[in-house]
Amino acid sequence: MQGKCLMIQGTASSVGKSVLCAALLRILKQDGYHVAPFKAQNMALNSFVTRDGREMGRAQVTQAQAAGIEPDIRMNPVLLKPVGDRRSQVIVDGRVIGSMTAMEYHQYKPELREKIKRTYKDLENGMDYVIIEGAGSPAEINLREGDIVNMSMARAADAPVILVGDINLGGVFASLLGTIMLLTDEERSRVKGVIINKFRGDVKILEPGLRMLEERIQIPVLGVIPWMDVELEDEDSVTERFHRSSGKGDLDIAVVRLRHISNFTDFQALTLQPEVRVHYAETPDDLEKADIIILPGTKNTIEDLLDLRRRGMDIPILRHARSGGMVIGICGGYQMLGNRLMDPHHMESSIPEAAGLGLLDMDVTFDTEKKTTQSTGVICCADGWLSSLNGQLLDGYEIHAGKNHYGSEAVPWLQIGGYTDGICNADMNILGTYLHGIFDDGIFFSKLTGHIRKRSSPEKPAQVQTLDAFREREFDRIADIVRASIDMDAIYRILQGKK
């Protein structure tokens, strides 16, 4: 093996591959190497727009940040975004090529395989090392023929593999042993070490099992990583975040849990602020005590709006808004706040039209082309609680196919390049925008909380945590834990192709 890359595979989904890759990339960066992440295929509704307007998966964006480099579409050449129970939008090299069923995509994979290999080689040529992430498990033997992301990718990159198991799930020894047994001889020869992840307790208790595992699989255990409460952005909706509250402050923020929720990484910055509690609302009762209700992005706006009504979630949202409570919509959530949503070309749904919540004076029509761009918004409020931020810049990105038609009661509050990107109502308690990332630097959110508490920010300096600063501390923290928990000398020997 050539000594240019290392691949992290897992015994299952959610065993911690993405976080381990980020930690290893940060360690290598700390040690002076120019490194990059790579994942051949992601399936996720959390995505990101690169500087050149391409769309890629969040996990590799986070990993690029850990490596200290600009996110690049070559790090994630294929992104699948589920649009329903049986179809996914297929994004190749950051551009949408269409919507496919699982069978259609399976038939398309051979065409993708060589393209992915070329993309990887192009990325690898400019790096000292590349850390490659697999998906799910390489032991899904029914999927081996169409594999483009696990052992097939390891062969294409000539990559040594480290296999990761999650002890918190239970049965970690059986899952590691079973995975190894289900690999072919050639695949098994690529596995140079195993790591046990998410351990709670004294490692000495594991030592007899570790020795027995090594005897059975004839592959060294490179370390045991303790449980880490990691607060980095999640790759997709396979997350514990929806089922717990973050923060212990007295200001309650309820993010509505939509069926096809996307880009909920928008709210990562909120969980860092000391005075708030963030939770995801799944029932009407979850919204009753909220100070701020947020409608997030979605991959299927009309169907999620109808589902919201079926669950009775619209009633407390409307009651909260009409009583003066703050409601904020981001992207698809912004569209829901309007009067009418029209999808004449069936871009998102088979439903051609639906009534919105009627909280903002606008109609939305879904266009045949999706807008994907990094953008800088300018707050444009001469009056009201946001007026002191007039002219303030908000950096972020846009991913949407909707075009808005504003009525006479629409009040612009955010502009991008001279056009309106966000409106509010006359009372300024209902706000919407297409711009993802408005909370990241803390400036807008600090003003928002000051308004809700009926005090202005200048009178009480806000102790705001920016998302960028938090990420840097978190990357260094998980790197320190992983460096102390695994045999880094062995990792370097594997990376360099040494025995």
- Give the pLDDT confidence of 4-23 residue by residue, as tens digits: 999 999 999 989 999 999 99
| Domain that includes residue 282, residue range | 241-462
Give the pLDDT of residue 3.
67
- pLDDT confidence tier of residue 247, bands split at 50, 70 and 90: low
Using one digit for the tens of pLDDT, what is the confidence trace for 66-85?
Answer: 999 999 999 999 999 987 66
Same domain, 141 and 270: no
Do 249 and 211 share a structural domain?
no
- Answer yes or no: do 216 and 270 share one domain: no
Within a domain: 499: no
Together in a domain, 421 and 479: no
Mean pLDDT computed over every residue of the chain: 90
HEC-encoded secondary structure of the chain:
CCCCEEEEEECCCCCCHHHHHHHHHHHHHHCCCCEEEECCEEECCCEEECCCCCEEEHHHHHHHHHHCCCCCHHHCCEEEEECCCCEEEEEECCEEEEEEEHHHHHHHHHHHHHHHHHHHHHHHCCCCEEEEECCCCCCCHHHHHHCCCCHHHHHHHCCCEEEEEEHHHCCHHHHHHHHHHHCCHHHHHHEEEEEEEEECCCHHHHHHHHHHHHHHHCCCEEEEEECCCCCCCCCCCCCCHHHCCECCCCEEEEEECCCCEECHHHHCCHHHCCCEEEEEECCHHHHCCCCEEEECEECCHHHHHHHHHHCCCHHHHHHHHHCCCEEEEECHHHHHCCCEEECCCCCCCCCCEEECCCCCCEEEEEEEEEEEEEEEEEECCCCCCCHHHCCCEEEEEEEEEEEEEECCCCEEEEEECCEEEEEECCCCCEEEECCECCCCCCHHHHHHHHHHCCCCHHHCCCCCCCHHHHHHHHHHHHHHHHHHHECHHHHHHHHCCCC
Active site residues: 331, 436
Quick one: pLDDT at residue 461?
Answer: 45
The answer to whether residues 299 and 225 belong to one domain is no
467 within a domain of the structure (yes/no): no
Q: Which of 124-128, 244-248, 306-310, 461-465 has the lowest mean pLDDT?
A: 461-465
Which domain CATH number covers 334? 3.40.50.880
The answer, yes or no, to whether residue 245 has pLDDT greater than 80, is no
Q: Is the pLDDT at 221 greater than 50, yes or no? A: yes
Evaluate whether residue 105 is within a structural domain: yes
Q: In terms of domains, do 379 and 300 share one?
A: yes
What is the rounded average pLDDT of the residues 140-154? 91
> Which CATH number characterizes residue 174's domain?
3.40.50.300
For residue 24, tell me if it sits in a domain. Answer: yes
> Are residues 196 and 323 both part of a single domain?
no
260 and 359 inside one domain: yes
> Is residue 373 domain-resident?
yes
Residue 343 shares a structural domain with residue 267: yes
